[in-house]
Structure 1
Amino acid sequence: MRERGRIPGCRMQNLSWRLAALAAFALAPSIATADDWVVTKLRGSAAVLVGEKWQPLRRGDVISDDRAIQTLTGGRATLERGAEKIELGPETAIRIDDAAASRYTTVKQYFGAVTVEAEVQNVEHFGVLTSHLAAVVKGTRFTVISDETTATVEVLRGHVAVEDSDTHQTTLLAVGQSATTSDNGAPLSIGGEGTLPPVYAANGKPVTG
């Protein structure tokens, strides 16, 4: 299959602590299970990495923890676990990590577009990690779009906490709002509807200008 970019472990694994730290202010204990994800919808071509070989992804397949999935041009896939969903757009690659010890689910997104829908009662147990930012659920539905140089979070429902992995700036987005970061060191860019949220520097002070 044609691969777009790399599916590395180094940088993204090094960022995992930032995602965990961002989720530390949870309002209630998370109760995410370690159950496997099931492919419930599939359109076009997609593949799963088994060992060192890519194999065709099929509806009904069970995706084991830490197994890479990639959709090709025009391909879309939906994975479900109970009331939770992960939707992959075309040309998207992810790896799901369900940490049993912390009961926390991390979607490691290498490129493409991913939409997450999490259980309302289990907020802040679910996040998406790219090489540029970490997005932690504080609501129920959001989309992350990423490539080699930028990443954008768009909130469709609820709230999402976002951290820029390079500048460590943070913000809390509401529905209809977005945050974009890049690898050029530029400040976290906020846009969208309503009163836009403040951006905080790593020292906790508001970013001005």
Structure 2
Amino acid sequence: MTDRNQTKESPEKKAAGLYAASLVKDGDAVGLGTGSTVAYTIKELGRRVREENLNIVGVVTSYQSEMIAIEAGVPLTSLAETPKLDIAIDGADQFDSNLFAIKGGGAAHTREKIVSMSADRFVVVSDPGKKSEILTVAVPIEVMPFGRELVTKSLKDLGGEPVLRAAAKKDGPVITDNGNFVIDCTFGEIKTPQELAAKISQIPGVVEHGIFMNVDEVVIGKTDGTIEIIKL
């Protein structure tokens, strides 16, 4: 039988994901992000729970992460039960030299931001291709369906090129775990992420954007299984 969460193995992502799992200590409450790199972290934490009797609880950011965590045997809780987390681990679409990051390729960035902001320490796991001197990838923006047209116009007024994210295997747009749309907006080189983040947040109908400004460190996995750690 094929594991429904199985993906083609990446040595870079695996190295970063496994190292991040080693940062989790006994008794920790852990925020578990979404994506292929964090999947390695979740599965490794499950192994540590089984084989090392690691005592932890996890808060997931998506249904995908929840399924992987349940299969791996990671005990789960919620922010309602455990509002303060010791560490959050997540991936990124891109990060710059100041550790500003863009996230939301998996359309879970609203919950990911809430979880990461609830943690004392936010660690991003990545492969080398996500590193950039300046942010350039499209910013995912979760939008209330009712506000789609206003948000689209407002993003264009900011100089962006907004595109409603379409679902891959169904007609119509992607629907987030919160029941909203996602607009991917390209701005070219984002030289002042803080300013852009503030402007996007002020648009009525925007639930949350994918610019993260609270990354404490980035773990980059290499093809030979080693890792590089970047901190400010």
Fold shared per TM-score above 0.5: no
Structure with greater strand share of residues: 1
Q: Structure 1 length normalisation: TM-score?
A: 0.28
Taking structure 2 as the reference length, the TM-score comes to: 0.26
